[in-house]
């Protein structure tokens, strides 16, 4: 049976470090568009943690029909607000918007999710300013598993700009052999082939049951970032019970990657404020 990689293994110690380092008088600004459930969960986690560590939380909830021009006006004001040291735009946003256009609106020095094209460029050169908090959470769980990444076969399911692509670069820089899979991999019926070969599987799609437990290689590390609903319950992309029979380590959903992600967002905030 797999060993569970729970956020609780490191959550309190990381939170205490953030609380000790948090100066008074700084704020995080979080922008949410529309009524997406996963976004609302992340939004509430941010606000709760801000209260616990003593950081001011500025929430900006915009309607789903907001224009990019209106968003630009909101972000321009936040960029100029001295108290605000970090800005987050919670996805999803309108499908017609290009990600690079949206994230370019955030001051690169307040871009604590590392999504401004300038910061992504630094990451791709191996000199990151800010690394996506979700990516940092994934890397933390891989670290806890003690898997040797050098030469390891890693399959990433999902090629988003927020998770899959930057994580692929970071893992390649650690000398892992990385397969970056996406919708076309699924369409060609090749997803199972890549997952079965993996020593480490990271999935971040949000489709319950996408990764069959039978596909998991014996002893593999499985990091499930997906958030979905099945039979009224929150669950990840992986068939958890079946995967547990074969994996060496696995993250639960909920209680895994998402919970640490919020902590790393605030750690990035402290970095932006020059406190760590």
Condensed to tens digits (0 to 9), the pLDDT of residues 8-29 reads 999 999 999 999 998 889 999 9
Tokens of 127: 């000199």
| 240-244-249 Cα angle (round to 5) | 110
pLDDT digits (tens, 9 = 90+) for 77-133: 999 999 999 999 988 888 899 999 999 999 999 999 999 999 999 999 999 999 999
pLDDT at position 40 is: 80
Instruction: Name the H helices within the chain.
Output: 11-21, 37-53, 68-80, 99-103, 117-124, 133-145, 164-173, 183-187, 191-196, 240-244, 257-272
Reply yes or no on whether the pLDDT at 181 is more than 90: yes
Alpha-carbon torsion angle 209, 214, 220, 221, nearest 10: 10
Q: DSSP assignment, residue 211?
A: B
Query: Residue 89 forms beta bridges with which residues?
Result: 31
Helix (H) or strand (E) holding 178: strand 177-181
Show the domains of the chain with their CATH numbers. Answer: 24-109 (3.40.50.10860), 132-258 (3.40.50.720)
Q: State whether residue 220 is helix, strand or coil.
A: coil
Phi, psi of 151 (to 5 degrees): 80, 0
Is the bond into 32 cis (omega within 30 degrees of 0)? no
Model confidence pLDDT, tens digit, residues 33-48: 988 877 787 788 899 9
Please state the pTM of the whole predicted model. 0.93
Amino acid 84: pLDDT: 97
């Amino acid at each position: 049976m797999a060993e569970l990689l729970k956020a609780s293994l490191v959550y309190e110690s990381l939170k205490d470090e953030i609380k000790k380092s948090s100066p008074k008088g700084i704020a995080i600004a979080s922008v949410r568009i529309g009524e997406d459930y996963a976004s609302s969960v992340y939004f509430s986690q941010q606000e709760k943690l801000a209260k616990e560590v003593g950081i001011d939380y500025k929430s900006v909830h915009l309607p789903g029909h907001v224009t990019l021009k209106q968003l630009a006006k909101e972000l321009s004001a936040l960029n100029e607000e001295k108290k605000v040291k970090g800005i987050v735009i919670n996805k999803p946003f309108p499908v017609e918007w290009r990600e690079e256009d949206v994230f370019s609106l955030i001051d690169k020095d307040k871009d604590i999710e590392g999504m401004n094209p300038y910061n992504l460029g630094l990451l791709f050169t191996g000199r990151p300013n800010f690394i996506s908090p979700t990516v940092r959470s994934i890397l933390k769980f891989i670290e806890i598993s003690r898997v040797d990444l050098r030469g390891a076969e890693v399959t990433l399911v999902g090629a988003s700009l927020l998770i899959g692509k930057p994580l692929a670069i970071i893992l390649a820089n650690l000398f892992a052999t990385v397969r970056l899979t996406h919708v076309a991999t699924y369409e060609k019926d090749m997803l199972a082939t890549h997952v079965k070969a993996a020593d480490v599987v990271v999935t971040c799609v949000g489709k319950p049951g996408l990764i069959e437990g039978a596909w998991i290689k014996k002893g593999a590390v499985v990091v499930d970032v997906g958030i979905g609903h099945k039979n009224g319950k929150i669950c990840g992309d992986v068939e958890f019970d079946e995967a547990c029979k074969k994996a060496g380590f696995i993250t639960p959903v909920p209680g895994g990657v998402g919970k640490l992600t919020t902590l790393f967002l605030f750690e990035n905030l402290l970095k932006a404020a020059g406190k760590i």
